[in-house]
A and B are shown apart, each in its own frame.
Chain A
Amino acid sequence: MKGAWWKVLAVVLMFYVLFAGMLIPLKSGIQAVSPQTVELGQPVELAVTGYNTHFDPARGPRVWLKLNADTLVGGSAYGLAAAAVVVDGPQTLRATFVLPEGLPDDAKDYYASVIVDNAADGTFVMPSVVALANGRADSGDDAAWTTRFDDFTAATGMTFPYRALLGESIRNQYFHVSLWFSLMLLMLAAAVYAGRYLRSGDLRHDYRSEALTRTGLLFGILGLVTGMVWANYTWGKPWSGDIKQNMTAIALLIYLAYFVLRASMASDQQARRVGAAYNLFAFAMLIPLLYIIPRMRESLHPGAGGNPGFGGEDLDSTMRMVFYPGIIGFTLVGLWLAQLWWRTQALANNPRVIAASDL
C-alpha cells in the first residue's frame, strides 16, 4: 500500500462529501406564498408554505411584509407586521395583514418581500413575492409603513442555503459542479504530461497524458449529462442552449477530436507526438473557451449576466466545507481511474516500461 495514501484520501473525501452533502439539512425557507397580488387598503390573508419549517402556535411565528426601499434611519424599514398569524401545521400558516391605502412615496416598486421568523427555524425571506395593487397616491402612509425589524431569531446548526427554485437540488453543487473543477485539473495534468512527453520522449508520460485525457473526457460527459438532468428540473428543459452548455459541448468535441487524431495516424510514434502537441494546444484553447467567453455573454449559470453567483451568498461557508473537499475527492478518483488505465496500457505495450516505483 506504499504510495497509496492519496487513494485512501480519495475514499475518505468521497465518503465525507457523500454524507455531509446529503445529510446536512437545508435552512428553513418559504416555498410559496398565495395570493401573490393583494389590494392595498384592505385586510388580506396570506397563506405561507414553508420548507423545513416547524411552525408552532405556542412559539409564535411572526410574519412581516417588507417593501423594497432604502433602510430608514434608526433600524426601521418600510414594512408591515402581521396583525394575526394562524398556524395550520408545521409547514403552513396564514398571516393577516391590514394594508394601508397607499405606498410610501420613496418605495422602489410595488412588490413586498415576505419575512417569517420563529424560534425553531430562525428568520427567512421570500424576496419580492407579493405584488401590491391599486394603491392611492399621496395617501401619506409613510408612517403606517414604518416598522422596526429587530430581535430576529438566529438559526442554529449546520445548514445549507435554501433557494425556492433549487430546493434540495442545491446539493448538486458537490456532485455536478465539483466534477467540472476536477475536469479542468485532470486536463491540466494531461497537458503537463503531454508537454513532458514532447520534451523527453518518455513513453510513460504519453500513457499518462492519454489516460488523463480519457478520464477528463469521461468527467466532461458526466458533467454534461448531470447538468442536463439538473437543468431539466430547475431551468425547465435539459438543453437551453446556454452559452456555458454550448461551450462545454465544444470542449468535449475538441477532446474527442484528440482521440480521432491519434487513431488516424499511420504510426504509433506519430500518433504520440502529434497527439501530445494537439493536447497541449487544445488545453490552451480551452481556457478562453471555458472561462473567458461564458463571462462575456448572457448565461443562466451563476456568475454571469446578472445571475446570482454561486461565489456570493449562494455558496456560503458551510457549502464551501463540502464543495472544496468534493473537488479534491473527485480529482483524486479521476487520477485513480486514469492510473488504472495508463498502467494497463503500459503493460499492454511493453511490460518493462513500468518500474515498481512508478506505481
Chain B
Amino acid sequence: MGSPTTKPKNGVREGAAVAKTKPMSTDLSLLLLQAPPDFFRSIGKIYVVVAVIAIVLIGFFVSLYLVERRISKLENQVNQDE
C-alpha cells in the first residue's frame, strides 16, 4: 500500500487487497464451522468447564485423602500406645 505499483487502478479502492486478510477471531470461528467439533468443543465448549470442575474436585479429594492417611497413621500410633 502506498507504493506506486499498488496505486488504485480503474477506481478500485486502495486497500482492497488488505481486506482479504481476516481478523483472527473470525478465522477461528470459521475453523469451528468447517471441522466437525470434537467432544470438548461441542455445545459451545461446555465440557471444558466440566473438565475444569472435575480437576478441582479431584484436587480436593486428593487433599482429603492425604489428611485421611495422616489420621490413620495417628490412629495406629494411639492404638499401639494403648
In the A-B complex, the 8 residue pairs with the smallest Cβ-Cβ separation, listed nearest first, are A167-B44, A168-B44, A168-B46, A110-B19, A131-B19, A135-B13, A169-B45, A167-B45
Contact with A along B21-46 (1 / 0, CB 8 A): 11101101110110000001101111
B55–A32 CB distance below 8 A? no
Q: For B13, give its contact among A26, A102, A179, A333 (CB under 8 Å).
A: A102
Contacts of A179 in B (CB 8 A): 56
Question: From residue B22, how far is it (CB to closest CB) to chain A in Å?
Answer: 5
Interface bin, chain B: 35 or more
Q: Which of A18, A26, A175, A348 contacts B44 (CB 8 A)?
A: A26
Using A34-B30, A168-B43, A176-B52 as known contacts, say yes or no to A136 and B11 having CB atoms under 8 A apart.
Answer: yes
In the bound complex, what is the Cα–Cα distance between A164 and B24 (angstroms)? 12
The residues of A with any CB-CB pair to B shorter than 8 Å are 18, 22, 26, 31-34, 36-37, 49, 51, 102-103, 110-111, 126, 128-129, 131-138, 164-169, 171-172, 175-176, 179, 215, 218-219, 221-222, 225-226, 229-230, 233-234, 333, 337, 340-341, 344-345, 347-348
Q: Mark B44-67, 1 if CB is under 8 A from A, else 0.
A: 111011011101100110111011
Q: Is the CB of B56 within 8 A of A215?
A: no
Q: A172-B52, A222-B59, A344-B67 are in contact. Are A132 and B19 (CB under 8 A)?
A: yes
| Bound Cα distance from A131 to B30, whole angstroms | 14
Q: Which among A167, A176, A233, A340 has the highest number of chain B CB atoms within 10 Å? A: A167
The residue of chain B having its C-beta at the shortest distance from the C-beta of A38 within the complex is B19
Which residues of the other chain, A, contact B23 by a CB distance below 8 angstroms? 111, 128-129
Contact A233 B26 (CB under 8 A): no
